[in-house]
Amino acid sequence: MAEFLEVHVTVPDRDVADRIAAAVVGERLAAGAQLVAPITSVYWWRGEMRRADEWLLFMKTTGERFEELAATIRRLHSYEVPQIIAVPLVAGTADYLEWIRREADPELGA
């Protein structure tokens, strides 16, 4: 797994987005989270094409923290199969990547 990741999660509303963002940043599973809305998702679910208004979270973390981050998201998420995907950060400024490393440090976590 890459050293640094951006994790994308879609959620049904602002309350769930706020709850997940506060938990993962508060527990230092992610250095930061951005909430983006509104978005419209079109997808297949149980044999039907569906459309939903959702919120999108972008979270910056390390590869080391991904599994615990994903577990926390699952615990707080209302979907049966939430979107939890990680995109490797292949480049970034040294100071920004160091910020992610420092703020997602498990030694500083709750």
Q: In the CATH scheme, what is the code of domain 4-103?
A: 3.30.70.120
Instruction: Decide: 40 and 50 in contact? Cβ < 8 Å.
Output: no
Structure tokens at 38: 């509104």
What residues does each domain of the chain span? 4-103
Segment 56-62 mean pLDDT: 98
How confident is the model over 6-22, as pLDDT tens digits? 999 999 999 999 999 99
The reported pTM is: 0.93
Which are the contacts of 33, defined by CB distance < 8 A and separation ≥ 6?
Answer: 20, 21, 24, 25, 57, 58, 59, 60
- Residue 1 confidence (pLDDT): 87
Mean pLDDT of 61-87: 97
For residue 109, what pLDDT is reported?
Answer: 56
